Structure 1
Amino acid sequence: MTKTVEIKQGEFAGWQTWPTEPFEYETAGPFYFRADEQGPVAAFRAERKHMNAGGVVHGGCLMAFADYALFAIAHEHIQDEYGLTVAFNSEFLSGPVEGTYIEARGDVLRAGRSLIFVRGLITGDGKPCLNFSGTIMRKPKK
């Protein structure tokens, strides 16, 4: 896993991110994560760049965020290893609009030696947007 960095200012001050992941940090995101009293959570604020022509967050953005959330949810199980998504499933439930606070929470269903199974739900201002599940393959750092 790449090194995390704590955000020092703004809405997500105190949260962490992986700035060495250019797609998730610069292009699709930025996305953030932390653990709170309910467990791991990932989040971002929907901006104009995340929208589709219909005025809601693009489905590809939600899926990219869900993939990021797999790793945020499984973060403590990966630690000093690198992980790859080897399976991913999702169902769209609703489309959040610009300005919406987007959040993902979920559970690690099983963490084995090489595979980690995760499921989660993305909400927009508390309304369900995307149901997802995925499998991460652990890869030791070289």
Structure 2
Amino acid sequence: MTAHTVESGEFAGWQTWPDEPFEYDAAGPFYFKFDDQGPVAAFRAERKHMNAGGVMHGGCLMSFADFSLFAIAHDGMEGEYGVTVAFTSEFLDGALEGEYMEARGDVLRRGRSLTFVRGIITANGRPVLNFSGTIKKRKKKT
């Protein structure tokens, strides 16, 4: 999957996958980069991400966590396509509109076809979701 570098705005210099319509257009856009602490994914919480109670919808947090699995594992994917085959999460707190959402994590194990990842999402530095998942490399269907 080819990443695109953002040229302007709050996330200038970050990368994203505009070929992922759900994560880019519907749920996101979400962004990722590599800094001195390793891979990081982020986005700014907007009104469209909130539920009727005024906090971020759980589905949005889980979608961002799924995106983050791939951002964290990006270096080892070697440009190959992958799918999530397992995913778990625990909600820790609610995120509010306007907050800076960030995910960081680790690759626990990388095999030939399976990669195991864990991470945590924060809202303005406050933990809101703990997650882990398994990515399976696949040949992209044409």
TM-score w.r.t. length of structure 2: 0.98
Displacement of 1:11 after TM fit?
0.2
Aligned partner letter, 1:100: E
Tell whether the 8 Å contact from 1:80 to 1:141 is kept in structure 2 after alignment: no
User: Which residue is equivalent to 1:61?
Assistant: 60
Gaps in structure 1 of 5+ consecutive residues = none
Which position in structure 2 is the counterpart of 1:121?
120
Q: Deviations over 1:106-133 (max 9, x none)?
A: 0000000010000000000000000000
Give the length in aligned residue pairs.
141
Give structure 2 stretches of 5+ with no counterpart.
none
Q: Does structure 2 retain, via aligned residues, the 8 Å contact 1:24–1:68?
A: yes
Identical residues among aligned pairs (%): 71
Once residues 50 and 83 of structure 2 are traced to their aligned partners in structure 1, the CA distance between those partners, rounded to angstroms, is 27
Q: CA deviation at 1:140?
A: 3.2
Root mean square deviation of aligned Cα: 0.8
Amino acid at match of 1:137: K
How many angstroms does 1:79 deviate by?
A: 1.9
- Quote the Cα distance in structure 1 between the aligned partners of 2:2 and 2:128: 29
How do 1:1-142 and structure 2 match up within 5 A?
Answer: 2-141=1-140
Partner letter of residue 6 of structure 2?
A: I
Q: Which amino acid aligns with 2:89?
A: S
Q: Which runs of 4+ in 1 moved over 2 A?
A: none
Shift of 1:80: 2.0
Q: 1:92, 1:131 within 8 Å by CA — same for their partners in 2?
A: yes
**Taking structure 1 as the reference length, what is the TM-score of the superposition?**
0.98
